[in-house]
């Protein structure tokens, strides 16, 4: 008996794993806000923050830096 019906042509490829990276501080951030950004981002796993979170994170870091500046040295 021979083969029956059409044969599926399978092309299976192995994809390289994607390295998960933490988001970098956004251009134009103040140096103090950049420091706060890095401290927060390093406290979580690399894939915790999604692209839609970066705007809010930037606003938070800038607000905290401004608050620290307004309080001044204690």
What one-character-per-residue DSSP string does 3-57 give? --SPPP-----PPPPPPP-PPPPPTT--HHHHHHHHHHHHTS-TTSS-GGGHHHH
Written as six digits, the tokens of 18 are: 């994607």
| Per-residue pLDDT tens digits for 18-67 | 889 999 999 999 999 999 999 999 999 999 999 999 999 999 999 999 99
> How far apart are alpha carbons 61 and 57 in whole angstroms?
6
Q: Answer whether residue 5 shows pLDDT above 80.
A: no
User: How far is CA 65 from each of CA 29, 32, 44, rounded to the nearest angstrom?
Assistant: 10, 6, 20
The model carries a pTM of 0.73
- How confident is residue 74, by pLDDT bands cut at 50, 70 and 90? low
């Amino acid at each position: 008996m021979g083969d029956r019906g059409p044969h599926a042509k399978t092309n299976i490829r192995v994809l390289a794993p994607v390295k998960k990276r933490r988001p970098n501080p956004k251009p134009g951030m103040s140096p103090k806000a950049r420091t706060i950004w890095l401290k927060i981002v390093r406290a979580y796993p690399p894939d915790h923050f999604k692209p839609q979170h970066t705007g809010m994170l930037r606003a938070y870091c800038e607000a905290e830096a401004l608050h620290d500046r307004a309080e001044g040295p204690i």
